[in-house]
Amino acid sequence: MNNSPQQFYDDLADSYAFIFPDWQAAVERQGDTISKLIGEPPLAVLDCSCGIGTQAIGLAKLGYTVHATDISSKEVEKAKETADKMGVDLTFGIADFRSLDDVVEGEYDVVISFDNSLPHLLTDEDITKALNAMKTKLIDGGKLFISIRDYAPPA
């Protein structure tokens, strides 16, 4: 049995949008919310754990220049298909965020990794490697945003 995050998200790709009651609305809402954090377009944004594109597509719709990557080739393919259907212009690639410095070209105003991607890394070494790789993709003064969901019930 393969318990890798890549396999998990490859297997989830076709049904991932179903976790949202209305995925299209989630794209709009998340794009709007994130834009308030990162600043007004046009900014170059790297979504280094894009999944099916929920945040990346939302930001591209608002006028950001977005390059979206993920370790799951199936989720990236799903994101590409959705962006094409929606007429949204952004670029995609396959990348493990621990190797962004080797795989992704260029620098960005903003790097994002939302919705619990970082907790898949189980060692301090891997976390450090990922954060350092994300840092190499930022322009001087660029911003990094990461979200980690707490699924525990409120105390």
- List the pLDDT tens digit at each of the 155 positions of the chain: 455 666 655 555 455 554 666 768 888 998 999 999 999 999 999 999 999 899 999 999 999 999 999 999 988 999 999 999 999 999 999 999 999 999 999 999 999 999 877 877 889 999 999 999 999 999 999 999 998 877 677 76
User: What is the DSSP annotation of 22-52?
Assistant: SHHHHHHHHHHHHHHHH-SSS-EEEETT-TT
Q: Phi and psi (nearest 5°) for 95?
A: -160, 140
Distant-in-sequence, close-in-space partners of 84: CB < 8 Å, separation ≥ 6: none
**Max Cα separation, the chain?**
45
- Per-domain boundaries in the chain: 5-146
* pLDDT at position 40: 93
Domain 5-146 fold is Rossmann fold (3.40.50)
At 14 the pLDDT is 55
